[in-house]
Amino acid sequence: MKKRKLSLSKIVTLIATVGLFSSIAVGCSNKTNTAGVKPVTEVKVGTTSDVPTVWKAVEKKLAGDNIKIKIVNFANGANPNQALADGDIDLNAFQHYAYLNKNKADLKLDITAIGDTIVYPLDLFSKTVKNVADFKNGAKIALPNDETNEGRALNVLQSAGIIKLKDGAGLNPILKDITSNPKNIKFVELVGGQIPRSLGDVDAAIINCGYAIDSGLDLDKDVLFKDKIDITDPNKKPYINVIVARTKDKDKEVYKKIVDAYHSDEVAKAITQQFKGAAIPAWDKKYSDALNVTK
């Protein structure tokens, strides 16, 4: 009986030992199978509009680096700059330099532009007026109501010959800077994204071409005056959109790879497909030249 007990004990020990070595062997095997595979890095990018075609093209360029882009849409009025500074997102891409510089100064945010993306022309649209000279006395023109885009809109109206601004008004003039308004134009200030829906209530409107395309406006038939874009013009630089990071993270290698991927012909093609000329790749003059914008 004792002998049998000893044999069973040895058998149990042997089984346990074999089991232990099996577990070790399986563990090593799993480690070997996953060795050399780069971990996936997910980067949250805040935007105020959904542009999947463009960011999918960026992500495709990053496939070899296992970098995934997660778009976080701030369509509810929340500020992507504040969210970036607070660490809720990793990057944002929704604004031009002029807006960024003012917003970060107002809110005292430590954030920095790390790469140019696109520039949206700010065209004058109308459904009823066919020529700039045809505005009736007292006609209404809608303008975006934020400071930087309203100033840009007033400069477009000056280029169109509708108004004159005082000397030295610069890039961000205000309504009080108008020195000549021969048609007594009435200006209606509205949130930029709402202006396309209000076009029927005014005679004309200065509209960001991105919003115009989204609302179904035609960039040929509905445009009364085009905002000429030359990305080498210092006066246009403030209106180039940018990718923004927290200043302390601006030199992160993964962010540099994202900017490099964005600055590719494949992404430029995606921008052209997505926006149909309403947005122009802004990191190389050849793209605006190709669209005959700088004539």
Give residue 19's pLDDT. 42
Give residue 34's pLDDT. 53
Give residue 159's pLDDT. 94
Q: Which residues contact 227 (CB under 8 A, 6 or more apart)?
A: 121, 122, 123, 124, 156, 159
Question: Is domain 41-119+238-290 classified as CATH 3.40.190.10?
Answer: yes
Mean predicted confidence (pLDDT) in 125-129: 96
CATH of the domain spanning 122-225: 3.40.190.10
Q: Which residues contact 215 (CB under 8 A, 6 or more apart)?
A: 196, 197
> How far is residue 176 CA from its own chain's centroid?
31
Q: Above pLDDT 90, what percent of the chain?
A: 65
For residue 18, pLDDT over 60 is answered with no
Give residue 24's pLDDT. 30
User: Of the ranges 39-53, 215-229, 232-246, 250-264, which is most confident?
Assistant: 250-264
Q: What does the pLDDT look like over 159-193, one tens digit per residue?
A: 999 999 999 998 889 999 999 999 999 999 999 98
Mean predicted confidence (pLDDT) in 106-126: 96
- Please provide the average confidence, as pLDDT, over all residues in the chain: 86
Please tell me if the domain spanning 41-119+238-290 has the same topology as the one spanning 122-225.
Answer: yes
Confidence of residue 198 (pLDDT cuts 50, 70, 90): very high
Who has greater pLDDT, 16 or 109? 109
For residue 14, pLDDT over 50 is answered with no
Q: How long is the chain?
A: 295
Q: What does the pLDDT look like over 43-90, one tens digit per residue?
A: 999 998 767 789 999 999 999 999 999 999 997 778 999 999 999 999
Give residue 244's pLDDT. 98
The predicted model scores a pTM of 0.77
Looking at the DSSP bridge assignments, the partners of residue 207 are 123
Range in 21-25, 92-96, 100-104 with the lowest mean pLDDT: 21-25
> How far is residue 262 CA from its own chain's centroid?
11
Burial classification of residue 30, based on how many CB atoms lie within 10 Å of its CB (0-12 exposed, 13-18 middle, 19 or more buried) = exposed
